[in-house]
Amino acid sequence: MLHPDSATGGDIMRDRFQIPPDIRRARIATTAVFFVNGMALALFFSNIALLKELIALSDARLGTALGLQGLGTVIFVVIGSLVATRFGTRATMLFGAVMLALALQMVGFATQYTGFLLAILALGASNSFIDVSMNAHASLVERQWRAEIMPSFHAAYNFGGFAGASLAAQLIRASGGAYSSLTVGGIAMVAVLMLGWVMLGNLKPAAETSQGGNRAITRHILRSPAIVILGVFVALALFVENAMNGWSGVYLCDVVKADPAAAANAFAAFQLALAIGRLLGSAAIRRFGAECVVVSGGLLAGAGVLLAVTVASHWAALIGFAAIGFGLANCTPMFFTRAAAAIPPAPALGIALVNTIGYIGYICGPLALGLVSEYQGLKTAFLLILGAMLIIALGCRLVTALKSSAQIAVP
């Protein structure tokens, strides 16, 4: 039985066989970009524990550096969106890929804390160009597809993260350093854009302000608290996600005493759980409803944190990290579809405004865990993740009461 707040199965299958071949090819190529971007970043995140050891970073300094990566993303995401509007999403993705490859090389060569900070800032800035342009390109494919397929792109990103973390473990064992992983990540990111250039297509957005113009958009922003509510919940979700990206491997090394190669498995477990959760998410929402999915996900993630901090073993930590990923998986996509619906004349603006607030959590996640870990230990710091997921679970009615894009879609 379908839940009343969900889209029908017929909506998802609508016009499936009338989709032009070039849009089908664009979906395949865009999925590949998401996959390789997830893989490239995973090759970086999986080496954080090793980089921390090589550069002799304290927990507080590492947290500051990872927070700077988020700051670089926030600063340059607006610039990236302007570049994508002016030169197109496909060209912006390629530019970002080249810059990301160079930034990863900077990280690999860094031997001092100052150089590492600059490299991390460059990494966040360059990836912001890829992030904003590939999501915009995916939304253009989604418009032509006339169905909500964005979760499939994000699942590809997480599967790429799992593949990258698995590859990083092998490369660390083979080379004993981080440079080989970072080089592979940069080369792969540039290669997928060059090889997929034609398939991606030069897609252009239609004007989003036709239904009422700028005044209508301003009225939506001023009259509705939805943007602020969703921004807070996205901030909590990104807090958890980036904290796990930056600190799960360090947790295995410092608390569980795993070697750096085994620590890469932490990121892999988290990313694989995110990917599987997002693949199953649409069906779960149709069957049980959005509120049930968010509440159960928050409680599952909380249980995962408790397992990881109370049972100090390799497998308990991996199972706990996977539970956090599975519980978090469908929160962010559900928040973003409601952000798009919050400003119907300009859905992209709704996402951008919510994301701007949300990146506060993205920046603060690694930084907060680093500071708490410095004075209270990493186990205590991980309880911040528990708190964020419980807030999402207990307050989710504020979000699920808002309409999603599927619920305001034109039949």
Cα 343 to Cα 350: distance, rounded to the nearest angstrom: 6
SS3 state at 378: helix
- Residue 274 has, within 13 A of its CA and on its CB side, a CA count of 32
Q: Where in the chain is the domain with CATH 1.20.1250.20?
A: 20-202, 211-411
Identify how many contiguous H helices and E strands the chain contains and give both numbers. 19, 0
Specify the pLDDT at position 307: 95
- In tens digits, the chain (411 residues) has pLDDT values of 445 444 444 444 444 457 888 989 999 999 999 999 999 998 898 888 888 888 888 888 888 888 788 788 777 877 877 787 778 889 989 999 999 999 999 998 888 899 999 999 999 999 988 987 887 788 778 777 776 677 788 889 989 988 888 888 888 888 877 778 888 888 998 998 888 888 998 877 554 444 445 555 566 665 668 888 999 999 999 999 888 887 888 899 888 888 877 777 887 889 889 989 988 887 788 788 889 999 999 999 999 999 999 987 889 999 999 999 999 998 987 887 787 677 766 556 677 778 778 888 877 877 888 889 888 988 999 999 999 999 999 998 998 888 765 565 444
pTM here is 0.76
Cα 340 to Cα 251: distance, rounded to the nearest angstrom: 36
Specify the pLDDT at position 407: 60
Q: Which structure tokens are listed for 408?
A: 């305001």
Distances (CA, A) of 259 to 173, 253, 265: 10, 6, 10
Cα 242 to Cα 250: distance, rounded to the nearest angstrom: 13
| CATH level 2 (architecture), domain 211-411 | Up-down Bundle (1.20)
Which residues lie below 8 Å from residue 305, measured CB to CB, with a gap of 6+?
320, 324, 382, 383, 385, 386, 389
Residue type, 286: R
Neighbours of 83 (CB within 10 A): 19
Evaluate whether the domain defined by 20-202 bears CATH number 3.40.50.300. Answer: no
Cα 315 to Cα 202: distance, rounded to the nearest angstrom: 46
Note whether 260 and 137 are within 8 A (CB).
no
